[in-house]
Structure 1
Amino acid sequence: MDAQLVAFAGVAAGMVAMPGADFAVVVRNALASRRAGVAWALGVAGGLVVHTALAVAGVAAVLAAVPTLFRDLQAAGGGYLLYLGYRALRSAARPLRDFGATAGDGDAAERGRGNGDGAERGQGNGDGEGRPAVGGSLRQGFLTNALNPKAPVTFLSVLPQFVPAGTPAMPRTLLLASVIVALALVWFPAVALLVDRLGRRLRRPRAARAIERGTGGALGVLGLVLLTEALLA
């Protein structure tokens, strides 16, 4: 058995499962509908594909070596997280009675019942006040993860630690990157499905509003941290 590979799988699982912006937005969208949550989760995994590919190719080293480029990407990521946080907080500001449309079971959301806005069919506004379109959730999940410039630098610093001496670096790092992506493809959809499973309770108006507020606040704080770091660097 490859002991280093097993150890890396444990480290990677901790990195993937660590609560953060990805986790928060997957939970929020899974409350809208099962398909939206899973689509967002797959988008997040797609963003990890970009980061691991950058790390394997060594492009992340450029981000670390060129502070201006890193700061620009960091500011863009922070701005996007602030935007998502604003949308969540704006949604949470709705009257409590308006959360009743999401208080039904997950199957109702899947069949497009509820407030009848048709967002699951791609006709909604996707702003968090209706049920987001699957394509929009997939795209935004990808952007939430892909716009984090710290991820490829983190992977670049971690992956080499698990490449045995004398082993060709490229095949090994590709294997390690595949492990990360595989874990993300399991973890984030599982989170979305679990949230949907518990949706009857979580979609109650007060619970839904609390989650919207918590998600919006968390995303806003993360966005501000990224922007502050970019401006003060």
Structure 2
Amino acid sequence: MDGQLLAFTGVAAGMVAMPGADFTVVVRNALVSRRAGVVCALGITAGLLLHTALAVAGVAAVLTAVPALFRALQLAGGAYVLYLGARTLAGLRRPRGVTAEDAEPAARPLRQGFVTNALNPKAPITFLSLMPQFVPAGAPALPRTLVLALIVVALALVWFPAVAVLVDRLGRWLRRPRAARAVEGVTGGALTVLGAVLLLEPLWAA
């Protein structure tokens, strides 16, 4: 692996691991079960795969050129994250003997992970602005960009399932009634705040 690929891997790893809506929704699902957390992580990875494909195809440039479309996607993403946060907080009202898995038998962690990531329009623009910096001068852009995109997807495929497994390993403590409600409250509050910020940001910029 050449120096530029190593440098990109480090930068991409920091971007993928940065706490945000993706991280929070994985924790939320991993508290239900390891399987739910890992499946949610796979959904996020699928969303990143979509974003990197869009970046390679140049669609991200369209989002930059059409502010109304970018803001619409921001609002949709913010509304979905806010919905997840409100749903999590609402779950705190259920009886103590009812687990999150019992309360949400129809939960769709794969969809939650994918939609949370896919509705973030900043991701493809970030990749579009970052990837060209790691394409050597004179080298074919498309093959190199595809390699960079695969690195991002591979990092996500390692990081988010690892988070889900770690949360599940701590599950004996985290799933105690008081601890579970505290963690649900924190994750629900974090998702709600993130969703509100995503909703308000395009309105402030308008």
TM-score normalised over the length of structure 1: 0.84
Q: Which amino acid aligns with 1:49?
A: L
Kept in 2, the 8 Å contact 1:32–1:132? The answer is no
Tell me: CA distance 1:195–1:137, structure 2 relative to 1, closer, same or farther (3 Å).
Answer: same
| Residue of structure 2 in register with 1:73 after alignment | 73
Kept in 2, the 8 Å contact 1:40–1:140? The answer is yes
Q: Unaligned 5+ residue runs, structure 2? A: none
Give the whole-Å Cα distance in 2 for the aligned partners of 1:27 and 1:173.
Answer: 31
Q: Which amino acid aligns with 1:196?
A: D
Give the whole-Å Cα distance in 2 for the aligned partners of 1:198 and 1:132.
Answer: 24
The offset of 1:44, in angstroms, is 0.4
User: Does 1:227 find its partner at 2:195?
Assistant: no
User: Does 1:213 find its partner at 2:185?
Assistant: yes
Give the whole-Å Cα distance in 1 for the aligned partners of 2:46 and 2:167.
Answer: 21
| Residue of structure 1 in register with 2:10 after alignment | 10
Q: List per-residue Cα deviations over 1:69-90 (Å, max 9, x = no partner).
A: 0000100001001100100110
Kept in 1, the 8 Å contact 2:78–2:196? The answer is yes
Q: CA RMSD in A?
A: 1.4
The offset of 1:212, in angstroms, is 0.9
Match of 2:104 among 130, 134, 139: 130
Q: List per-residue Cα deviations over 1:29-69 (Å, max 9, x = no partner).
A: 11101111110000000000011111111100110111000
| Residue of structure 2 in register with 1:98 after alignment | 97
How many residues are paired up? 205
User: Does 1:59 find its partner at 2:92?
Assistant: no
Q: Which amino acid aligns with 2:114?
A: F
Q: Unaligned 5+ residue runs, structure 1? A: 103-114, 118-128
The offset of 1:28, in angstroms, is 1.1
TM-score normalised over the length of structure 2: 0.95
Kept in 2, the 8 Å contact 1:32–1:131? The answer is no
**Identity %, equivalent residues:** 73
Q: Which amino acid aligns with 2:20?
A: G
The offset of 1:93, in angstroms, is 2.9
Q: Which amino acid aligns with 1:98?
A: G
| Residue of structure 1 in register with 2:132 after alignment | 160
Q: Which amino acid aligns with 2:112?
A: Q
Q: List per-residue Cα deviations over 1:178-208 (Å, max 9, x = no partner).
A: 0000000011011111111110011111111
